[in-house]
Structures are given as C-alpha cells and as structure tokens.
Amino acid sequence: MSFRRTPEERAALERAKATLDALRFYPEPVRLDRVRILHTPRLFKLPWFRRFHGYNMGPLILIKRPLDQCSPRLIAHELCHVWQDQDHRLRMWLSYVTQGYANNPHEIEARKAGASA
C-alpha cells in the first residue's frame, strides 16, 4: 500500500469534491487534505461489510473494487460521509446507532450526493 495518493485517486477525489461543492450541504466545503481511498477487498468479505461496495471510516474511503472499477457516484457518496464526519462527527455516528441505516438522514444525504455525480 502506498502512503501517497495516486493521480487516479486525486482525480477521483477532485471530481467528487466538485459534486459536493455544488450541493453546499454544510457551511465549510469538504477538505481533502487527509482523505484517502483504499482498495480493501478482504474487508468486504466479512459478514458486516458484504452488503457494501464502499465504506467510510473518518478520512478513509474503503472500496471493494479497484478504483478504476468504481463509479463516480460511489466516490461522491462516500466523500459525502467524510464531509459529514468533518462537520459533525459525533452526531453523524450516533445517528446510525439511534436511527439505523436505511432511513438515516445522513445516508439519504449521501445518496443524493451520489446521484448528483
């Protein structure tokens, strides 16, 4: 695993950021300085993760498939979660505990971001 972003990773993040910047969900734009996209196929073999194609953990966007096989919609969706985490980390993570996944307002917002990509 490289500690530096590849040109493809930078381009994918910049495209997703442009999508999110247009949506203006939060007062401050998403910051990309520490965001990484990591291809972690083994993670998605675990029972909890099998249903996902991407997953966000703070500044990390974890993806099931190689980046060149991921849609811009998926990257925008996951970057929206990074943005939510940057804007209101505790409230965002607690919402999944208290409100679940399917109808969670943060998930709905990320779906809108992905659909805009």
Write out the residue range of the structural domain in which residue 39 sits: 7-116
Q: What pLDDT, on the 0 to 100 scale, is given for residue 4?
A: 87
Considering the domain boundaries, does residue 11 fall inside one?
Answer: yes
Over residues 7-40, the pLDDT tens digits come to: 999 999 999 999 999 999 999 999 999 999 999 9
Residue-wise pLDDT tens digits, 65-109: 999 999 999 999 999 999 999 999 999 999 999 999 889 999 999
Residue 66 lies in a domain: yes
Confirm whether 2 is domain-assigned. Answer: no
Indicate the number of domains in the chain.
Answer: 1
CB-based burial label for 112 (10 Å; 0-12, 13-18, 19+): middle
Strands 60-63 and 36-39: parallel
CATH classification of the domain holding 54: 3.30.2010
Spatial contact of 27 and 51, defined as CB atoms under 8 Å apart: no
Would 96 be classed as within a structural domain? yes
What's this model's pTM, rounded to 2 decimal places? 0.94
